[in-house]
Each structure stands twice: as structure tokens, then as C-alpha cells.
A and B are shown apart, each in its own frame.
Chain A
Amino acid sequence: MRIALFITCFNDTMFPRTGRAVTELLERLGHTVEFPQAQTCCGQMHFNTGYRPETLPMVRRFAEVFAGYDAVVAPSGSCAGMVRDHHRVVAAQYGDTALTEAVDQVAPTVYELSELLVDVLGVTDVGAYFPHRVTYHPTCHSLRMLRVGDRPLRLLRAVKGIDLVELPAADSCCGFGGTFALKNADVSNAMLADKMRHVLDTGAEYLCAGDNSCLTHIGGGLSRLRTGVGTMHLAEILASTEGDTR
């Protein structure tokens, strides 16, 4: 099976460790991962902020770069959702039928990490070891766009040593929302405050999620308040093994 890693622009520059974790994890499970160097961005920020013409080149590039793989894995629910749900909308809006067809070919091969592991590779116990108290925030786009359901939790429950605690009001948005956090900074902060309160209530050492954008927002607040609660992408916990000193 040919698996390509779509790292997403945000992870590429800010959290390459998440990309390395995805790679380590999949290689440990016996798969080969390819990284097309021509990849860039899914265009979500432009699309969700109303900049459609600027989104088009990114949609076109994605369809070209990731054509022909059996599976494309993205360690981000919202970027995977952007490709699967919205690339077609952009292609169709500009009346580009060739691009629409290309998008229709590639979009169904794009998976968020937990989907790839559970649905495509058929694994829930990835042989990870992470002896810490962890709570999981499901992130809105994983939950309500991709409908990943309890797949991430099934993967986490199978991690040895983990003390997984339920996050109260887990399905409430954290208040990030991309450019929302800038355009509506006050509301974003009000939502962040409640999310942090729920995280702190769990007594968790680490907050885990499948999207580093939400984690940057919540973790940024947790850090500013010096709560000592860390954030970790799902891939990083799943990549951890007994030999790690994390």
C-alpha cells in the first residue's frame, strides 16, 4: 500500500515532531510512508475566511501532488475535512471540470490519522506506551465533519500505561476557529477559558487532540497561566514506546 503523508503547512513549520511521529508510527506498523516534496497547504484558512480565488491554486496543487496514492494521511482533522468536503466546492465554483474530477479521485483517499489506523490499516493497539494521565479533546472538525467518532479514544485506550480521563463537555468547541481567534478574539478567549477549566478539572498531565491548531490555542492558554499541563498530538502519544524518555 502506498501511503503519502500530507503534513499540512502548519505542522510542517510549527510541529514537524508530529510528522516525524506519524512516520515512526506507520513504519513501526510495517508500512512505508512517502512525503511528496511538492505539497503545500489545503487552503482551509483562505476558504474559511472567504478568499476563494486564492484557494484555487492550493486545491489544484493538492489534487496533482497526491494523485495515485492508496491513502493520504493528514495529522489534522480540519485539513483532512477541508480536502474531503470543500475542495470539490472550490473546483466546481470555478467551473473546472477536469479539476473537479481530479478532486473526486483524490478526496476519498484522504484520511485523518485515526481513520487511517482504525479503518484502513485495521489496528487499534499500535503498541504504544505512555505512562501519563491524559485527557482527549475531540476537535470539532474531526467530530462533526469527518465523524471520526471514538476511533481516537479506542487507539488511546489501547496505549499501555496510559491513565485516560474523560474531558467534561468534550464536544464543545475550544474557540480557536482559525481566523475567528483573531476576528473575534474576545469570544475566542471566553471559550478558551471554559475549555481550560474543563481540562484542569480532569487533573490530566497532557491534553491530547488530533489537531495541533486547536492544541496551540488551548495549550497557549494553559502555558500562559503556567498550569503545567502539556499538549500532545495523538500521533505523538501513539508513537511513544517503552524506550522513550518522554
Chain B
Amino acid sequence: MSDRDNVVWLGTPAFPEAARAALADTRLRANLRRATATIRDKRLAVTAELDDWEELRERAAAVKRHTLRHLDHHLLRLEEAVTAAGGTVHWAADAAEANAIVTRLVQATGESEVVKVKSMATQEIGLNEALADAGIRAYETDLAELIVQLGGDRPSHILVPAIHRGRSEIREIFLREMGDWGRPAPDGLGDDPRDLAEAARLHLREKFLRCKVAVSGANFAAADTGTVVVVESEGNGRMCLTLPDTLITVMGIEKVLPAFADLDVFLQLLPRSSTGERMNPYTSLWTGVTEGDGPQDFHLVLLDNGRTATLADEVGRQALSCIRCSACLNVCPVYERTGGHAYGSVYPGPIGAVLTPQLVGVENTASLPFASTLCGACYDACPVKINIPEVLVHLRAEAVEAKRRSRLLPTAEALAMKAAGWVMSSPKGLAAAHRLAALGARLVARDGLIGSLPGPPARWTGTRDTPAPAQESLRAWWRRTKAVNETQGRTTAEEEGRR
């Protein structure tokens, strides 16, 4: 299952365990709290500026819905347009195939190093590791990806992969690691963001000027013109997209848009939703190859890697509309506290919790759909209106069914749910359960409150006092005090109906 090893990081414990460790990391908590609060506030301010924000969301969702419904058609159009413009299109069914294609293309140039534009698709397939196996060094050039790569770390956010790092940690990483990868960090480097950026600039500049091959992802690709789009903030992507001789772009098949004109909607939504900016500093668009300008050899690798299977799920397929803005991560109360590593996937947060299980199979990531309170903040923030809570609940049902199928005996939870379902479907059952609970509570409650209990109930009672169930349920109270009146009321209504 090598293709699955990269989307999910094998060895990461289930979400509750991984989250427990993350919650205890004081530095991580502080970094996340500060960073997510800053981006959240910026996003709210710039989305409030647009009177037609809701209309833009509707239009984007409609374009994505249409595109996904006719995905094969638009992909063939894209292939035709890119080919006509002098590019070469490759089709990759899974990560292994995509990695093999990219490796072969780099080897054909005779080069042994590549510069990389920040890209989720290449993270997803583990391209850097695959290239390293073939003796090719891949240099991440996005500042945050550089921090992650130098730190021997994993990304913890879709847009800001080093969001879990504070500036003092970044300084330490630069001082320790930069020398092994190229130009060392300047002596006496401080932790001022400007100094850190300057150190990265000097370190990366020599790679931009030296490397003949670049690898990128894509934010969008227009099927009518064959134009590929990368949106970024630093200009490092622009360096990679213009200086090298060969450009290889790995793009998930769901990124295609029917028409160039559709960018109108998405280029308004993406920067405001992701970095909270009206417009991102660098938007690079290229159409095949232009003689004498930029890379003269362009390859577009179209990646499936579980997407077609996801498309077959009527509820789950909306996750493929994602434009990787990260707004859902920044507003998620769970993500804000655990960070991205706890999700054990390159796609963390709410969108990861619905995307990862679909890409690799829900039975392999069964804890992820449950890593949410279903508070709905993600749905409100999503610029393409992915109903993440709806998909989460849908995948929870699939996870439960998968477990049912894979076991001879039901889990304790399944038995409890079955019993509860039986009780809760019958007024008599509910009343009996209430009497039993009220009786049981009498044994453990003090002054009407249930304190800490041992065993599994400790998950709840360890931190919360719980009132004992009322001695008289509402149902019983009603029967005792009002039943007569109600019967009379009903009779009257029925008589009126007859008259």
C-alpha cells in the first residue's frame, strides 16, 4: 500500500491519542492560538468587505459541482489545450505512478536536483522521498515548507505548513540545518521575522539560479485555454515557474475548471479565505510553452490517487470541490487546539477529516470523521460551501458499517448503541430507563450531584459534575398533573373536527 503511506503517516496513533499529546505541548498551543486567531480575524475583515460574498460562494460551489459531474469531459479538453500549447500531459492513477513519471522526466533532463513550488499534491504522493530514492534532491522553496523540510518535520497546516513553529524555533532550525542543504544561515542570526526571511532568501537564491528543473502543483487549470495557475505570497513560486528550463506540474484531477473566465470567481475567493488578503501578491498563469520566455519543456501530470473513487460517493464527493484555502482549519475549535499532526495526514483539520478517509478508505482512518464536534464553523467559512459536517456524519456511518462488517462480534459501543436505540424508540423503555438511572444516581450522587466515577465514565465525570436524573420525568409529571386536561382538549378538537 505504498500509495497510502504518503497521504496518511503510518504509525500516527488514532486521533484521540495523538490529540492528547498535542494538547499537552505548551509551545504548540501558544503558536496555534496566536496564528489561527490572526488569520481568522483577517479573513472575517476582508470577506465582510464584499457585498456579494455569499453570491460568490454560491457560484464557486455551482462551478465545482458542474465540473465534477463532467470531470472526464473537462480533463480531456484540458489535455487537448495543454498539448496544443506545447505542453505534455501525463495521467497517473496513483502515487506510485505519478512519482515514477516525475522521476523519469527529471532523469531525462540529466539533472539531479529540482526546486519545488509549495504543493499539496506532491506532499500527498510523497514525491520528495521518491525522488530521493532515485538520487534526486528536491528543494522546497516556500518559506514554511523550507522550515518543515530543514526541520525533518511534517506539515501541520495546508497553507502554513510550519504554523506549529514559533520564530525562535525557526531560528534554531535555520542555524542548525541550512549548512547541510546549501548556504548556511548568517552568523548571529536573530529571530526577527525580517532576519529569518533574509536568511531564507539568501539560502534559496542560489538554488533558484542553479536548478534547471522545477516541480509545482496547481491551484487551477482552465480546460478551454490549457492555462495552469499557481497562487502564492512570496514570489519563490514565481522564481521556480520562470527560471528553470523544465517545469513539471503535478495536479489533482479535481483542480480543472471548465473555462479561464471561471478564475474570476475563484481568484476573489481564495486569497480572502486563505491568507485574509484582498489579493495574493503573486498569481502565476502559464499556457503550455512560450518560445524564449520561461521553461521550454512543460509537463502536466494529472493525478487520480483515490479521487475517482471519492467521486462515486454522492455525499462525499463535495470534498473534491476543495480549493485548499485552509479557512476551515483556522476556524475549527478542534484544529486550533491540536494542530495538524494529530490528524496523521497531509490533509489535516476539518477538510482533512473528510478528504483523507475518502482517499485512503475510511476503515484505515476510522477516528478522523469523529474528530469534530459538528459545530459547523467550517461549513460557514468554506468558500466553496462544502458541507463538512454532513460529510463527517456520512463517513461516521461508513466507519461504523465498516467495523460491523469486519468483526464477528459487535463492539461494546455498538451493543450500547443498539440497547440505547431500543430504549429510546419506546416511551415505556425510556420511562423504565429513567427510573433505573434515577435509582442508580441515588447511590452515587451527593446533594443531587454525581462527582468523579471510576472506569469509562471518568471520561465524562473526571472533569464535570453531573446532576442526578430528576426523580420525576416530565412525562410522569404531565401524566400526574395534566393528563386529564389534555384528554379533554383532544376530545374537544376531535368533536370540532366532526362538526
Which B residues are CB-close (under 8 A) to A182?
A: 459-460
| Bound form: Cα–Cα A126–B75 in Å | 60
Which of B100-108, B186-194, B365-373 lies at the interface with chain A? Answer: B365-373
When C-beta atoms are compared, the residue in chain A nearest to B470 turns out to be A16
Contact of B12 with A by CB under 8 A:
no
| Bound form: Cα–Cα A68–B418 in Å | 30
The answer to whether A173 and B373 have CB atoms under 8 Å apart is yes
Which B residues are CB-close (under 8 A) to A120?
A: none
When C-beta atoms are compared, the residue in chain B nearest to A59 turns out to be B425
Which B residues are CB-close (under 8 A) to A150?
A: none
| Bound form: Cα–Cα A39–B430 in Å | 10
Contact of A133 with B by CB under 8 A:
no
Which B residues are CB-close (under 8 A) to A177?
A: 372-375
Contact of B165 with A by CB under 8 A:
no
When C-beta atoms are compared, the residue in chain A nearest to B437 turns out to be A13
| Bound form: Cα–Cα A171–B437 in Å | 33
Question: Dominant SS at the B interface?
Answer: helix
| Chain B interface residue number, banded | 35 or more
When C-beta atoms are compared, the residue in chain A nearest to B490 turns out to be A34
**Partner of A192 from B376, B463, B478 at Cβ < 8 Å:** B463
Contact of B16 with A by CB under 8 A:
yes
When C-beta atoms are compared, the residue in chain B nearest to A191 turns out to be B333
CB distance from A206 to the nearest CB of B (A): 15
Contact of B179 with A by CB under 8 A:
no
| Bound form: Cα–Cα A58–B429 in Å | 13
Which A residues are CB-close (under 8 A) to B374?
A: 48, 140-141, 177-178, 180
The answer to whether B379 and A144 have CB atoms under 8 Å apart is yes
Contact of A223 with B by CB under 8 A:
yes
The answer to whether B427 and A40 have CB atoms under 8 Å apart is yes
CB distance from B135 to the nearest CB of A (A): 43
CB distance from A172 to the nearest CB of B (A): 6
| CB < 8 Å A-B pair total | 191
When C-beta atoms are compared, the residue in chain B nearest to A192 turns out to be B463
| Bound form: Cα–Cα A218–B133 in Å | 52
The answer to whether B474 and A7 have CB atoms under 8 Å apart is yes
Which B residues are CB-close (under 8 A) to A220?
A: 460, 463-466
The answer to whether A175 and B333 have CB atoms under 8 Å apart is yes
A186-B23, A223-B464 given as contacts; is B393 within 8 A of A13 (CB)?
A: no
| Bound form: Cα–Cα A179–B459 in Å | 11
Contact of B71 with A by CB under 8 A:
no
**Partner of B16 from A12, A43, A49, A186 at Cβ < 8 Å:** A186
Which A residues are CB-close (under 8 A) to B376?
A: 140-141, 143-145
| Bound form: Cα–Cα A173–B380 in Å | 14
The answer to whether A11 and B474 have CB atoms under 8 Å apart is yes
| Bound form: Cα–Cα A187–B335 in Å | 10
The answer to whether B474 and A20 have CB atoms under 8 Å apart is yes
The answer to whether B430 and A41 have CB atoms under 8 Å apart is yes
